[in-house]
Structure 1
Amino acid sequence: MRDATAQAGDDNEAVEIVGDKVEMVEVSKHPDPTIPVTDLSLADIERRRSHPVQWAAYAIAVLVAIIAPYWLGRMLAVRNTAWLTDKLNVFTPQGMAFLAWTVTLVTIACLGLAIVDSGRWLWRIIFAFALAGEQLAAGVSLLKFDFWYSTYVVYGDSAAVANAANLGIIAAGFGVAVFAVIWVGLLVVIRKDSPLNVLTRSWASFILFFAIEVIALLVVMFGGLLTTV
């Protein structure tokens, strides 16, 4: 058993007492420092990494993605109804519901990935573009709480496709709400040392999220809602 350690030499060796004997043993060599010496404090370093101008530009881009596409969609619905109706009639109600649900799902999923994987800008960029697409669909379909009245006034007998788009967006939003309740419930109920704690891991949470979203879509497409509104 080693009892003491002597000073290490320049050749990566040191004299140590092993049991009752003095032996020359090899020791690990500390690597050269890779972080340069600086007078900056940790707060100064964090400020340099924050990039406030970049974040401000991104916030403005997100606001534009929320406002401009929705305004454009509503303007097309009100002022170019005949042209827009001709384009929308290419889709079946089921196809439009699936398309609107997919765009909304991508928006929500990219927002979650941007929070989890905060070091990458890829998810934030995709989120902004997907948000613009979702807002455009919401504007075209005149999305609001009692959308079926507005869509019937604007689109008349062709309102089924616009209603389907609204139902697709609402289904994705409802799926998020259900997932949030279940996930928070799991965090509260499951103990940290329980084997079931694996259900709160990021990969398990995403599987649960997509499963709930698929169920919400199936309810809209095959639950009779497309023919009700």
Structure 2
Amino acid sequence: MADESERNEATEIVDGRVETVEVSKHPEATIPETDLSLADIERGRSHPVRWAVYAAAVLVAIIAPYWYGRALAVNDTAWLTAHLDAFTPQGMAFLSWTVTLAAIAMLGVAIVDSGRWIWRILFVIGLAAEQFVAGVALLRLDFWYSTYVVYGESATVANAANLGIIAAGFGVAVFAVIWVGLLVVIRKESPLNVLTRSWASFILFFAIEAAALLVVMFGGLLTTVGA
């Protein structure tokens, strides 16, 4: 029988009566004592070299694919035009929108699930693909002039690629405004606060992106820019 002095007891109401019941003790600490502070522990987990390499990879993914795609457009126009003619304007807009959306989505998942590097790696891959498409399509503010000079009568497909990328970017901007507005307007204890949850935010994000794509594909923009 355990020593009475070692027993832990508490008073509880059981079936309407006050009774003294035995409760379990706290387990012994299994984490060894250390002289390191919390700041020292977090500093040891920061991995600055890894982040520096990743930042360099992001920079390369932004510059190199765009430069290569633009070089193809300028130096191998005939070869590139022959391959672009396999796409309809709607198909190219959808392709460029999908590539851009994938990169943005991977960035969002990397922020939400910050403990896994796979999302950051997929973001870099998606970013490189988007930049390559942007380079081939000569993306800029007045892209329709550049594409007409380089591609001539075949500029419609390149213009569609630019519109797909712009649609995805515009969708992100609209989502950011709406999401921040929800954070400001909805009270924390309100049932509508569920709209700010991560899963609801992703649903809202994809809905806005889909609407932006539909506007580009069926709103007359492809015809207007391609004219």
Deviates more, 1:219-228 or 1:127-136: 219-228
Determine if contact 2:65/2:135 at 8 Å carries over to the other structure: yes
Q: Once the two structures are superposed, what CA deviation does each residue of 1:130-152 show, in whole Å capped at 9, x if it has no partner? A: 00000000000000000000000
Q: Describe the SS at the equivalent of 1:50.
A: coil
Q: Once the two structures are superposed, what CA deviation does each residue of 1:55-99 show, in whole Å capped at 9, x if it has no partner? A: 000000000000000000000000010111111111111111000
1:80 to 68, 76, 98: 76
In the alignment, structure 1 residue 122 sits paired with structure 2 residue 145: no
CA distance in 1, matches of 2:106, 2:10: 57
Q: Which runs of 5+ in 2 are unaligned?
A: 13-18
State the one-letter code of the partner of 2:144: W
Q: Which residue of 2 aligns with 1:212?
A: 208
Q: Relative to structure 1, is the Cα distance of residues 8 and 53 closer, same or farther in structure 2, using a 3 angstrom cutoff?
A: farther
Q: Which residue of 1 aligns with 2:16?
A: none
In the alignment, structure 1 residue 110 sits paired with structure 2 residue 110: no
In the alignment, structure 1 residue 30 sits paired with structure 2 residue 26: yes
2:175 to 164, 179, 192: 179
Q: Once the two structures are superposed, what CA deviation does each residue of 1:96-146 show, in whole Å capped at 9, x if it has no partner? A: 100000010011111111111111111101100000000000000000000
Q: Relative to structure 1, is the Cα distance of residues 178 and 29 closer, same or farther in structure 2, using a 3 angstrom cutoff?
A: same
CA distance in 2, matches of 1:184, 1:218: 24
CA distance in 1, matches of 2:111, 2:131: 21
In the alignment, structure 1 residue 71 sits paired with structure 2 residue 67: yes
State the one-letter code of the partner of 1:119: G
Q: Which runs of 5+ in 1 are unaligned?
A: 1-5
Q: How many residues align?
A: 217
Determine if contact 1:178/1:212 at 8 Å carries over to the other structure: yes
Determine if contact 2:168/2:209 at 8 Å carries over to the other structure: yes
How far off its partner does 1:35 sit?
1.9
Determine if contact 2:10/2:22 at 8 Å carries over to the other structure: no
State the one-letter code of the partner of 1:226: L
How far off its partner does 1:159 sit?
0.5
How far off its partner does 1:26 sit?
3.9
CA distance in 1, matches of 2:11, 2:108: 57
State the one-letter code of the partner of 1:193: E
In the alignment, structure 1 residue 98 sits paired with structure 2 residue 72: no
Identity, % of aligned pairs? 78
Q: Once the two structures are superposed, what CA deviation does each residue of 1:41-67 show, in whole Å capped at 9, x if it has no partner? A: 111100110000110000000000000
CA distance in 2, matches of 1:68, 1:83: 20
CA distance in 2, matches of 1:211, 1:157: 34
In the alignment, structure 1 residue 202 sits paired with structure 2 residue 198: yes
1:164 to 160, 167, 171: 160
RMSD: 2.0
Q: Describe the SS at the equivalent of 2:45.
A: helix
Q: Which residue of 2 aligns with 1:62?
A: 58
Q: Relative to structure 1, is the Cα distance of residues 210 and 222 closer, same or farther in structure 2, using a 3 angstrom cutoff?
A: same
How far off its partner does 1:27 sit?
3.4
How far off its partner does 1:33 sit?
2.7
1:142 to 131, 138, 145: 138
How far off its partner does 1:15 sit?
6.9
How far off its partner does 1:32 sit?
3.8
